[in-house]
Amino acid sequence: MLFDQIARNKRKTWLLLLVFFLLLGLVGYGVGYLWLGSGLGGLILALVIGFIYAVTMIFQSTNVVMAMNGAREVDEQTAPNLYHVVEDMAMVAQIPMPRVFIVDDPSMNAFATGSSPKNAAVAATTGLLAVMNREELEGVIGHEVSHIRNYDIRISTIAVALASAITMLAGMARNMMFWGGGRRRNDDDRNGSSGLEIILLIISLIAIILAPLAATLVQLAISRQREFLADASSVELTRNPQGMINALLKLDN
């Protein structure tokens, strides 16, 4: 059952990529139709921007995320307890040993990043390490290692990259609208618009307004589903549901 879910996650990577690129293309077409005088030109521009965003995030996600969080990489000598827990969970999950990071932050948090198990990393905050005992830390790290094994990180990375591109294009469109960038296109439409042009105008405006919201909703749905799966996978790795339960109770409090 679990391995079937992992296989489905891999297939959903491509489906998710298609959905987000469709949203991106719709926004790009709207921007091009309203302000560049060519819907096709806007579509091509949007797809190029989305491709660059996705490739950049996929191949540099680990370093970018860790740098953004001010994380420092540790090894067996500098953080033996965390390192050994990550090592144990990776061994049970049968994935390559991820890089291990610590974030100097009093809040309790842990996260994983990397587009595949080969370039993955796991980070924990100093606040989490100070509060969790070994059993609870295994539950938390098992959760993050499960994200890596289940290829959740790749899906999330693609979602974030393309949602960012969609938001950027929509923001550009709103700025152009505020500064009157589409005035000539609107004047032409008023002077002699066909029914098709009016429909395209309405679709373009709706896409620019609603696509960022749609992208966010898709991200939230994906995140919720993957979190439940990672909790179940963590219990499978640790063979200790109580550790995960206690960790969640501490995080909730």
Cα 49 from Cα 168, distance rounded (Å): 10
Catalytic residue at 144?
yes
Question: Per the residue annotation, which of 73, 87, 136, 144 is the catalytic one?
Answer: 144
Helices (DSSP H) in the chain: which residue ranges? 2-31, 39-68, 80-93, 126-131, 134-149, 152-178, 183-192, 195-238, 241-252
What b/e readout covers 121-131, taking b as 16+ CB neighbours within 10 angstroms? bbbbbeebbeb
Terminal Cα distance for the chain, rounded: 32
Given strand 110-113, what is the order of strands in its sheet? 72-74, 99-103, 121-125, 110-113
What b/e readout covers 30-61, taking b as 16+ CB neighbours within 10 angstroms? bbbbbbbeebeebbebbeebbeebbeebbeeb
Catalytic residues: 144
